[in-house]
């Protein structure tokens, strides 16, 4: 586990280094075309656009994600009619059958 964490840490450090060097190279290349003031601003705007696009993409993905019922889905909610999926009833019957079988087996051992 530590070896994997160390390997991922090395990968992250290398990725950050590559990002810094590529940003510096982009600024140097743009400084010949746009000047020394506008080149860093253009690169910063590119990063801002990437960040904004990622934020919007994550927000859209979260709003489209299906709602997964939690463990407390059977708990009554205020103002909402209580509805349970059919699988809940099947699981409840299986659990009851297992508990009844366990109870009966323990009861027959005592005699």
**In total, how many domains does the chain have?**
1
Tens-digit pLDDT profile for residues 61-88: 888 766 655 555 555 555 555 665 677 7
Question: Residue 12 belongs to what domain range?
Answer: 2-64
CB 31 within 8 A of CB 39: yes
Q: CA 89, 91, 97, 99 torsion: positive or negative? A: negative
Q: Helical H runs in the chain?
A: 2-34, 38-64, 86-110
d(CA 26, CA 9) in angstroms, rounded, equals 26
88 within some domain: no
29 within some domain: yes
27 within some domain: yes
108 within some domain: no
CB 20 within 8 A of CB 28: no
Tens-digit pLDDT profile for residues 8-61: 999 999 999 999 999 999 999 999 999 888 999 999 999 999 999 999 999 888
71 within some domain: no
Angle between the 38-64 and 2-34 helix axes, to the nearest 10 degrees? 130
């Amino acid at each position: 586990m530590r070896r994997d964490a160390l390997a991922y840490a090395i990968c992250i450090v290398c990725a950050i280094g590559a990002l810094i060097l590529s940003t510096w190279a982009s600024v140097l290349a743009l400084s010949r075309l746009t000047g020394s003031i506008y080149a860093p601003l253009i690169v910063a705007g590119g990063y801002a656009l990437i960040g904004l696009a990622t934020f919007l993409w994550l927000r859209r993905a979260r709003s489209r994600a299906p709602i997964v019922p939690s463990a407390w889905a059977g708990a009554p909610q205020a103002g909402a009619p209580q509805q349970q999926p059919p699988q809940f009833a099947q699981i409840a019957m299986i659990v009851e059958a297992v508990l009844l079988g366990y109870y009966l087996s323990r009861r027959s051992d005592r005699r």
